[in-house]
Amino acid sequence: MRPVILIPEDEVEITAIRAQGAGGQNVNKVSNAVHLRFNIAASSLPDDIRERLLHLRDQRINKEGWVVIKAQEFRSLEKNRSEALRRLQVLVSGVATLPKKRLATKPTRSSQRRRLETKVRRSAIKVGRGRVEEE
């Protein structure tokens, strides 16, 4: 279960822009796409989440620490706006959960034995492919 972290609306800049791609005459007249910008460093997020977001290797986060999301899936400005906010929420809550620490384990004795037996079998097959000597 991911913890829900609420992002205040006043920390998010949303701009209406014209959508790209096909769409007929309507796409040239109406600004239905949404450009969302969120400054990680200036946000009210907890410090640990802010740090993990800044160190996240995501193409939506630029070098200055801004999250930039473009939503142009729908023909409605309001749907695109809520989609961009949803994507931002998913990004932030994905960083909010800490990944489990990996515990180092050793291979079992039987798995080691099986691995070595397979290597011996493969080796015998490959030796059998060699040049045949005539006497």
Q: Taking the chain (135 residues) in consecutive chunks of 10 residues, what is each chunk's mean pLDDT?
A: 75 88 71 90 88 88 91 90 93 85 94 98 93 80
130 belongs to a structural domain: no
120 belongs to a structural domain: no
**What pLDDT, on the 0 to 100 scale, is given for residue 56?**
87
Nearest residue to 36 via CA among 106, 75, 89 = 89
**What pLDDT, on the 0 to 100 scale, is given for residue 97?**
81
Domain enclosing residue 50, as ranges: 9-96
119 belongs to a structural domain: no
Domain with 79 in it: what CATH number? 3.30.160.20
**What pLDDT, on the 0 to 100 scale, is given for residue 116?**
98
2 belongs to a structural domain: no
Residues 6+ apart with CB under 8 A from 66: 37, 38, 39, 40
**What pLDDT, on the 0 to 100 scale, is given for residue 100?**
87
**Number of domains into which the chain is organized:** 1
**What pLDDT, on the 0 to 100 scale, is given for residue 23?**
67
CB 9 within 8 A of CB 104: no
Edge-to-edge strands, sheet with 12-17? 12-17, 33-39, 66-71
Residues 6+ apart with CB under 8 A from 3: 93, 96, 97
